[in-house]
Copies of this chain bind each other. A is one copy, B any other.
């Protein structure tokens, strides 16, 4: 996915990383950012509608962000080692349709992926293209637990290389 706008095709999909959510980490995030009992305490969670300790939805989303940052860094380093140009990604103006489909329970492993959902040239800024990505997290049972859409400005291939 670390590609220039011209080289991304709708349907391209890549895994960006995997994370196992431990009980300790779930509780630490919840204590700081989402102190609801079913994210904080096993016993209370057992009696909640979730039935067991599970991660805050913001935790599962923020974990995507960490994996994405690391993924881009690895990819950029690999391109750099090969002496290839590194595509620019503009900052994200936001996300759409953030959905939590299933709880992420303590011990669950979530595999995150990103897929090109749409792309179009930017009319006003010819050095950039706009790419829409569908981002997903899938647990060890193959169930989608989180998804959201993002839009990024992606740099176009330098003229010199065309």
Contact = CB atoms under 8 A, between A and B. Distances in A.
A58 B100 CA distance: 15
Contacts of A58: 58, 61-62, 65
A34 interface: yes
A93 B99 CA distance: 6
Question: How many copies of this chain sit in the oligomeric assembly?
Answer: 2
Band of interface residues on A: 20 to 34
Nearest to A48: B91
Given A35-B66, A62-B62, A66-B34, A94 B94 contact: no
Interface string A36-54: 1000000000000110000
B69 A34 contact: yes
A76 interface: no
Contacts of A69: 34-36
A98 B100 contact: no
B99 A98 contact: no
Nearest to A90: B49
Contact of A65 (B34, B49, B100): B34
Contacts of A123: none
